[in-house]
């Protein structure tokens, strides 16, 4: 699996484009916010002869789904995300105003739901959805066991965890979910977070002050 990382939008969110030798690709957390950022994804797909097959969301906070509408309009793919986060699409304009951002282009509705333990295939890549609520009720981590990689969204960061003061967030729920669902993964698992640098499960077991 090849992982291309883009850091997008005013929130410095990590958008991941994954693909393999089949040329099939998926975007995880499309945060592309302006025309320049959208063109970066479009050009990368074209330059590498990739066919976008899936648009996946670990969760639906605004900074992780700015680009969903663009990807639907360009490639005809609706995003996939947890049903438990769907409520976050109802007040996007209000959320944008909260952060002093313009109203934007509108919301792209979910095409299908990601459920806990669901297996998602992209070419020869296999991702398993792991429900880790607390940052948002529907937060899903995507685990590529064969590649030793976890796409953690905003659940787990290097030396930190996701904030829990947003709608329907809960600190105790997040800590319990990380402890039960993520820490049992192999120590060498590389964690690609929604913001900031990568880490590993082993590093977070030893060094994360919240765990």
Is 80 strand, coil or helix? strand
Strand partners, 24: 51
Print the domain residue range for 194: 2-207
DSSP 113-149: E--TT-EEEETTEEEEEEE--SSSTT-EEEEEGGGTE
CA distances from 157 to 128, 163, 178 (A): 19, 11, 11
pLDDT attached to residue 82: 98
The overall pTM is greater than 0.85:
yes
pLDDT attached to residue 171: 98
Mean per-residue pLDDT of the chain:
96
pLDDT attached to residue 104: 67
**Domain CATH for 81:** 3.60.15.10
* Per-residue tokens: 135: 């940052």
> Please, what is the Cα angle at 129 between 123 and 131, to 5 degrees?
165
* Per-residue tokens: 172: 């105790």
Output Rg (C-alpha) for the chain, integer angstroms: 16
pLDDT attached to residue 99: 80
Distance CA 138, CA 149 (A): 20
Judging by beta carbons within 10 Å of its beta carbon (0-12, 13-18, 19+), is residue 188 exposed, middle or buried?
exposed
Is 190 strand, coil or helix? strand
Distance CA 45, CA 24 (A): 10
Name the stretches of the chain with pLDDT < 70: 103-104
pLDDT attached to residue 100: 84
Q: Are 19 and 3 in contact (CB under 8 A)?
A: no
Number of separate domains in the chain = 1
Is 11 strand, coil or helix? coil
pLDDT attached to residue 102: 80
* Per-residue tokens: 36: 């320049």
């Amino acid at each position: 699996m090849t992982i291309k990382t883009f850091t997008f939008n005013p929130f410095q969110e990590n958008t991941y484009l994954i693909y393999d030798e089949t040329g099939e690709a998926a975007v995880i957390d499309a945060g592309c916010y302006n025309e320049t950022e959208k063109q970066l994804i479009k050009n990368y797909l074209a330059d590498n002869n990739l066919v976008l097959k899936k648009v996946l969301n670990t969760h639906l906070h605004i900074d992780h789904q700015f680009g969903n509408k663009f990807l639907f309009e360009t490639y005809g793919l609706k995003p996939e995300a947890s049903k438990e986060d769907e409520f976050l699409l109802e007040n996007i304009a209000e959320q944008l105003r909260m952060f002093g951002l313009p109203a934007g282009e509108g919301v792209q509705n979910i095409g299908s739901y990601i459920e806990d333990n669901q297996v998602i295939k992209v070419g020869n890549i296999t991702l398993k959805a792991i429900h880790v609520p607390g940052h948002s009720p529907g937060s899903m981590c995507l685990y590529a066991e064969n590649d030793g990689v976890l796409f953690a969204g905003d659940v787990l960061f290097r030396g930190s965890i996701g904030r829990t003061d947003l709608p329907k967030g809960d600190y105790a729920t997040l800590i319990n979910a990380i402890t039960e669902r993520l820490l049992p993964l192999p120590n060498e698992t590389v964690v690609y977070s929604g913001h900031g640098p990568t880490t590993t499960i082993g590093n977070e077991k030893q060094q994360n002050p919240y765990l």
